[in-house]
Structure 1
Amino acid sequence: MSSTDTPTAGPANATLLIVEDEPKIARLMADYLESHHFAPTLLDHGDAVLPWLEEHAPALVLLDLMLPGRDGLTLCRDIRQRWPRLPVIMVTAKVEEVDRLLGLEMGADDYICKPFSPREVVARVKAVLRRSQAALQAPEPVAAPVVLNDDGWQALAGDRDLGLTAVEFQLLRVMMNAPGRIFSREQLMDHMYRDNRIVSERTVDSHIKKLRKKITEALPEQEIIRSVYGVGYKYQPEG
């Protein structure tokens, strides 16, 4: 190790979970993270992850995409549902999966593509932990007016099911996962129709109109989907 590789102090021996079934890669990550004052634990099977997390509280999870047993995408989704503030960095050799890893379906905090540099692993771990700590110190968010249940494809306002169609649910989920972001009609169509079918922008407007009507019936005092003239739509609850 050269002088430029001298470890800098990590967050006070923070515990990290590395889920990787290739022993050489797992050991490489663990050794380098240990040299930077992290305390990694190794698991090599997807089915072992959730039981381990039930008993431990790591600062971050490094999660391989392709695993025996439960795969990385499924695990990332499950972790997001059960431990929403636990940072997850996905490790993948499948570059085409990056949008899914970081985006609307799984919500990973970051990703690392194989082959990678050990320095990159440390840098990304530190960056994600910094963002995580900043989020923990932020004020508690106000309860969302609408809550999504991905397993049942339900959108709930309080205890009331909005009765959304599959397309309406997907449309709402896209916007709710990026509050305040303005989505063009074309961007929304890309998320609504993954089979690349040709639809008009009026189709999006029609779905938005129906979605707004259902939300207004349940929440008459709130406008949570807003139009931005000439641009598109955004999810932005009042308050």
Structure 2
Amino acid sequence: MCAYVLVAEDDPKQAELVRRYLCREEYTVRVVADGRSAIDEVRRERPDLLVLDVMMPGVDGLDVCRVLRREYDLPVLMVTARVSANDKLLGFDLGADDYLTKPYDPRELMARVRSLLRRARQPSAQQELRVGDLVLDAVRHEVRIGARQVPCTPAEFRILATMVAAPEQVFSRGQLVEQAYGLDGFITERTIDVHVANLRKKIEADPRDPAYLRTVYGVGYKVTNGRRHG
């Protein structure tokens, strides 16, 4: 079954270029030119992936990502002419799974689209992972703390699943990039810090004093059972 890719891009020439490359890969493609239309289309048709331009009229890409992340876990590839590190980190903080700056080679865009779709479809080796009250359900793509469901982006889910599958094992940022995204993920180690910070806000009773997602200074991160010692 062909994946359905929604492209939100207000530049007609850029939108047509992206559409042509996606169609060559035999994806089903629809293009919208503003953020409001992107939100409406996702709610109506639930695409497999959203290629989202940041700088659009009306509702911009950042607001689109903020709104949709409260409702869906579809992969989001954010595209923008903004090149600063802060802009990229803001995009990841709002829930983007990948971030590509303009101008870009369309072949790189296609590689990232394939990578995100492949990761989204990749089955987990275990249907359910559990550490203390923290539970990951791979079939439903759900995270729970006790009875409380925790909304997670696809990237956050993969990072958390990597660590929950090996409780108490310390993962470096580089290991989390590789295991959660693969070698073709185009993700920097700094991005892992942003994802972990977001996960702590969602999971921990006190994100400043985490019980589950612990930092091992100078090394990386690990997941524990949530119990305090000492």
Q: TM-score range by the shorter chain?
A: 0.5 to 0.7
Letter in 2 for 1:28: L
- Judging changes above 3 Å, is the alpha-carbon distance between structure 1 residues 226 and 126 closer, same or farther for their aligned structure 2 residues? closer
* Percentage identity across paired residues of the two chains: 32
Equivalent residue for 2:32, pick from 21, 36, 43 = 43
Contact 2:78-2:98 at 8 Å conserved across structures: yes
In structure 1, the residue matched to 2:94 is 106
1:216-235 map, 5 Å: 223-226=211-214, 228=216, 231=218, 234=221
In structure 1, the residue matched to 2:13 is 24
In structure 2, the residue matched to 1:129 is 117
- Judging changes above 3 Å, is the alpha-carbon distance between structure 1 residues 107 and 23 closer, same or farther for their aligned structure 2 residues? same
Task: Provide Cα deviations, 1:69-124, integer angstroms capped at 9, x if missing partner.
Answer: 2111121122222112x11100011111122223xx21211122111122112111
Equivalent residue for 2:107, pick from 109, 114, 119 = 119
TM-score, length-scaled by structure 2: 0.60
Equivalent residue for 2:59, pick from 65, 70, 74 = 70
Contact 2:21-2:106 at 8 Å conserved across structures: yes
- Judging changes above 3 Å, is the alpha-carbon distance between structure 1 residues 42 and 99 closer, same or farther for their aligned structure 2 residues? same
Letter in 1 for 2:15: A
How many residue pairs were aligned?
171
Whole-angstrom CA distance in 1 between matches of 2:207 and 2:77: 37
Secondary structure of the corresponding residue to residue 46 of structure 2: coil
Whole-angstrom CA distance in 1 between matches of 2:207 and 2:13: 53
Q: Which has the larger radius of gyration?
A: 1
Contact 2:34-2:59 at 8 Å conserved across structures: yes
1:211 offset after TM fit, Å?
3.8
1:225 offset after TM fit, Å?
4.8
1:159 offset after TM fit, Å?
8.7
Whole-angstrom CA distance in 1 between matches of 2:10 and 2:41: 16
Contact 2:131-2:224 at 8 Å conserved across structures: no
Contact 1:20-1:45 at 8 Å conserved across structures: yes
- Judging changes above 3 Å, is the alpha-carbon distance between structure 1 residues 109 and 140 closer, same or farther for their aligned structure 2 residues? farther
1:145-164 map, 5 Å: none
TM-score, length-scaled by structure 1: 0.58
Equivalent residue for 2:127, pick from 139, 160, 171 = 139
Whole-angstrom CA distance in 1 between matches of 2:129 and 2:24: 36
Letter in 1 for 2:44: E
Whole-angstrom CA distance in 2 between matches of 1:125 and 1:177: 17
Contact 1:178-1:235 at 8 Å conserved across structures: no
Whole-angstrom CA distance in 2 between matches of 1:69 and 1:144: 45
Contact 1:176-1:235 at 8 Å conserved across structures: no
- Judging changes above 3 Å, is the alpha-carbon distance between structure 1 residues 176 and 33 closer, same or farther for their aligned structure 2 residues? closer
- Structure 2: gaps of 5 or more residues: 135-143, 149-155, 164-170, 174-189, 195-205
In structure 2, the residue matched to 1:54 is 43
1:142 offset after TM fit, Å?
4.9
- Structure 1: gaps of 5 or more residues: 1-11, 147-155, 161-174, 192-207, 213-222
Task: Provide Cα deviations, 1:11-65, integer angstroms capped at 9, x if missing partner.
Answer: x432110000001000110011101111110110111122211210211000001
Letter in 1 for 2:60: D
